[in-house]
Structure 1
């Protein structure tokens, strides 16, 4: 099997950029939406999916309008829920707590927030439901990192070592497993900041 192209696009710059805005439904800026449309202008895909949060969904709507491809909404592609830290600037979070989170987001999630493994689990379910055809997903940096963990076997530190700025495009070649119990595999084919 030749595999299929999977393109993960981080939403464009939202209102409140630079803050921890996981579940917060921050609206995208007009420039952020335009950057997403421009970034995907030469992407050949047969399916278009986005997170249900406005900063991803509105970019997905604009891409759908530009390409004529229908948009499917899937909330499993949402960002990590930052709980009590939602809307805070990273500098406003107690330094030790934020450091513990970055070091081990599963054992030290944000207070009342989502742990890393929960994000990975829901992204895994979303990936498992993809049809093996060229697909473009408008999503969030955390969900993109979770996909890298699932598809490429990266650990948390490795996924967070990859810079994923607003409107960046991460392209992969995915080979779905045809054997029960065997993991889907992928290779990064491009990262376009």
Structure 2
């Protein structure tokens, strides 16, 4: 008879997306004995990503114990259980590779899935929280870690940082670091991944204030927009800090990015997740025209991030999900470096909103001019610092 294991797994994100971690435990169903534990802080991610990574870790731990075992997975994530059981389609493109990875760990015919309420998944939940606590003090979870021990370690780190701060206060300010600390007492996290966010230059639709997203005509830069791109390129070349250039796939961004990259001697990498919102039937219309033709849909859109424009457009909630995924990919790729991200109004406002932990309605309270510069720094502990918003000084 093959051995039988229970795998309980969980994942969490403090911010969704935010600092995230997972936990998994392998249990002997006959004795209740814990056979293996796994947990890891994974940086900035969503709850769903963390839950899937917890599943993968739990399956790997069980497979390592016995590749022929029968495994019963128990999780409080209805999404993961139903998707891995084949009852729900995996619609989100970012979940598909995680589900495929989980399915490849252990023979599918030897794995079954069961949903359990959260209160019955406390072991894995505790491990996930311990992993996130460990990440908060700049370390990875180790077997034997407990939340109390991690809290003590964090307290020690704070005391050490306080002592260092007192010493720094008594020293001359001439050697002050150029990168401000944002950890409020945590250990040195190293240089952040810094996104310099450049909105593309004007198109013919920009001065007319028409909806121009990813579902319209994909306009090119106007003569004014080309001049704005040149001005941004000159300003960024003078600063000399940009080490890479990434762009939305839409033409107006590729043109803007290409102008800057040529001045800096860099290539342009395309990131599809940075494209503008698809405004559906509103593409090319002014706000007044939309209000006249689709008043109820516009009202709903203005009051809920989950409401989509008429005709199959994207909601701000959907845009935020894909922008967060693109952000996490870029943070991992450009850790400790400064990257120019050339994109659109909604993605830039979304990155600023997420960095601040602001609600979705804050998108309507930010001004973002054509060819303006903004900046966000992302630190290793998952914290973000909004450093600049809507700077147009280079255009004057």
Which structure 2 segments of 5+ residues have no match? 1-188
Counterpart check, 1:97 vs 2:297: yes
| Residue aligned with 1:84, SS | helix
| Residue aligned with 1:45, SS | coil
Counterpart check, 1:173 vs 2:362: no
Q: 8 Å contact 2:273–2:323 — kept in the other structure?
A: yes
With structure 2 as the length reference, what TM-score do the two structures score? Answer: 0.45
| Residue aligned with 1:100, SS | helix
Tell which deviates more after alignment, 12-21 or 88-97.
88-97
Quote the Cα distance in structure 1 between the aligned partners of 2:231 and 2:320.
29
Counterpart check, 1:22 vs 2:213: yes
Q: 8 Å contact 2:355–2:376 — kept in the other structure?
A: no
Residue in 2 that maps onto 1:189: 387
Q: 8 Å contact 1:120–1:149 — kept in the other structure?
A: no
**Higher RCO (CA < 8 A, seq sep 6+):** 1
| Residue aligned with 1:173, SS | strand
Residue in 1 that maps onto 2:309: 110
Quote the Cα distance in structure 2 between the aligned partners of 1:187 and 1:141.
19
Quote the Cα distance in structure 2 between the aligned partners of 1:42 and 1:185.
28
Quote the Cα distance in structure 1 between the aligned partners of 2:242 and 2:195.
8
Deviation at 1:90, TM superposition (A): 1.1
Deviation at 1:95, TM superposition (A): 3.6
Deviation at 1:40, TM superposition (A): 4.2
Q: 8 Å contact 1:78–1:139 — kept in the other structure?
A: yes
Over residues 79-125 of structure 1, what are the superposed CA-to-partner deviations in whole Å (9 max), with x where a residue is unaligned? 1110111111111113443232122131x210210111211111111
Query: Please, which of 57, 80, 85 is the counterpart of residue 282 of structure 2?
Result: 85
Deviation at 1:31, TM superposition (A): 1.9
| Residue aligned with 2:220, SS | coil
Quote the Cα distance in structure 2 between the aligned partners of 1:116 and 1:175.
25
Quote the Cα distance in structure 2 between the aligned partners of 1:190 and 1:91.
31
Structure having the larger proportion of residues in helix: 2
Deviation at 1:62, TM superposition (A): 0.8
With structure 1 as the length reference, what TM-score do the two structures score? Answer: 0.89
Length, aligned pairs only? 186
State the Cα RMSD in Å. 1.6
- What are the within-5 Å matches in structure 2 for residues 123-162 of structure 1? 123-130=323-330, 131-132=334-335, 133-162=337-366
Over residues 146-180 of structure 1, what are the superposed CA-to-partner deviations in whole Å (9 max), with x where a residue is unaligned? 21233321211223211001111111222143xxx
